Amino acid sequence: MKKDTLCIHAAAIEHNPTRAISMPIYQSATFVHPGVGQTAGYDYSRLQNPTREHLEKTVAQLEHGLDAMAFSTGMAALTMLMELFTPGDHIIASNDLYGGSHRLFDHISTKNGLSFSSIDTSDLAQIEQNINPRTKAIYVETPTNPMMNVTDIKAVCEIAKTHNLLVIVDNTFLTPYFQQPLSLGADVVLHSGTKYLGGHNDTLAGFLVVNDAELSAKLRFIYKTVGSCLAPFDSWLLLRGIKTLAIRMEKQQENALQIANWLKKQPKIKKVYYVGLPEHPAYEISTQQASGYGSMISFTVDQEKTACQLLEHIRIIQFAESLGGVETLMTYPMMQTHADLPQAEREAKGINECLLRLSVGIENAADLIADLEAAFI
């Protein structure tokens, strides 16, 4: 099946005696054993639940993976993933990441004995230079949040395999509809399902996807132990959201390209960061490893006053943290997603009082541009 058909029909419903088109919500914490030493396939919802299982199989198929695990949030997924590693292990990570990932690595994982080299993973030489005997994994976010840097996933995987390292890719921005890192050689794909997979800003979720049975077994053991699984109703909301993933991603990308080209022409805009613009330094790599460019745009304005004016005067576009929903949202990374980064580190990345991030929704692009234009006045 093609990707857009998979979004609707992936993972045929197995637990559906009524033949309902919508997967039933199995709102049960526990399940009855038919007899001693027997199981109906489900024992306790922390281990597995039919609704969550259907969602996990759907996401695994979309990512061309063997197994997917659904979590209560994206950060829950990343936190559990770190339990693969032991004190003393070293991880190479992209230096431009979602602020929550920085916070976890810098304040929790480091406390637990892991060490990190935060580098520009688009520079393959830097990756090679930072590999040491304790290195266990390379963690890549591409495109990055919020500076839209792009890493060549296949090239990183080739380096990793020569050193027996895991490659972990945060695929939140492009989703499996536009980018499939496992097919490029990655070992683990991470998603904040709250964003595009859910698509409606109405629930939180996270995913890990793998295509190796041994790695799946290790993660499943940790998963049932720490208990950060996604609830049945939230699993159903994600299933419902994924059904429209294809048409949402296409429309959002179409809108984003129009808005990015409009932003480039505005005198108060100093720089536009969108991987779908041919002048983006990684445009060719993006075109090779992904089938689309997504709908995330960051841009810098001429001064802090302009940034505040935009945030306070937009009307259709909403000033809110998060991304990937049907509504267009504008975020102030300095004060929201990346507020916990030390100022010097944040500004070195370009995350300052003049940087804004736009998650483009499915509204009419002309209305969104008119809203921006009015807010500039």
Closest residue by Cα to residue 185 from 147, 213, 228, 156: 156
Query: Lowest-confidence range among 120-124, 195-199, 231-235, 336-340?
Result: 336-340
CATH 3.40.640.10 residue ranges of the chain are 3-242
Closest residue by Cα to residue 357 from 245, 239, 235, 256: 256
Please state the rounded mean pLDDT for residues 216-225.
98
C-alpha distances in Å from residue 255, one per residue of 136, 204, 235, 277, 286: 40, 25, 29, 13, 18
Please state the rounded mean pLDDT for residues 52-60.
97
The tens digit of pLDDT for each residue in 19-51 reads 889 999 999 999 999 999 998 889 999 999 999
Q: How confident is the model at residue 123 (pLDDT cuts 50, 70, 90)?
A: very high
Question: Burial of 313 by CB count in 10 Å (0-12 exposed, 13-18 middle, 19+ buried)?
Answer: middle
Residue type, 335: M
Pairing of strands 355-359, 135-141: unpaired
**Is residue 17 over pLDDT 80?**
no
Contact, 27 vs 49, CB < 8 A? no
Pairing of strands 115-119, 135-141: unpaired
Contact, 45 vs 29, CB < 8 A? yes
Closest residue by Cα to residue 169 from 284, 183, 362, 311: 183
331: Cα separation from own chain's centroid: 16
Please state the rounded mean pLDDT for residues 77-81.
98
pLDDT confidence of residue 345: 85
Query: So which residues are the catalytic ones?
Result: 46, 98, 170, 195
Sign for the CA dihedral angle at 270, 285, 242, 248 comes to positive
CATH 3.90.1150.10 residue ranges of the chain are 245-376
Q: What is the 3-state secondary structure (H, E, C) of 339-352?
A: CCCCHHHHHHCCCC
pLDDT confidence of residue 337: 87
Kindly compute the dihedral angle of the four CA atoms of residues 222, 241, 187, 119, in this order, to the nearest 10 degrees: -100
pLDDT confidence of residue 187: 98
The tens digit of pLDDT for each residue in 306-332 reads 999 999 999 999 999 999 999 999 999
Q: Is the peptide bond before 146 cis (omega within 30 degrees of 0)?
A: yes
Closest residue by Cα to residue 337 from 94, 329, 118: 329
Share of the chain above pLDDT 70, in %: 100
Please state the rounded mean pLDDT for residues 98-127.
97
pLDDT confidence of residue 82: 98
pLDDT confidence of residue 347: 87
pLDDT confidence of residue 283: 98
pLDDT confidence of residue 284: 98
Which residues lie across from 357 on neighbouring strands?
Answer: 298, 331
What does CATH list as the number for 3-242? 3.40.640.10
What does CATH list as the number for 245-376? 3.90.1150.10
**Is residue 12 over pLDDT 80?**
no
pLDDT confidence of residue 68: 98
**Is residue 235 over pLDDT 80?**
yes
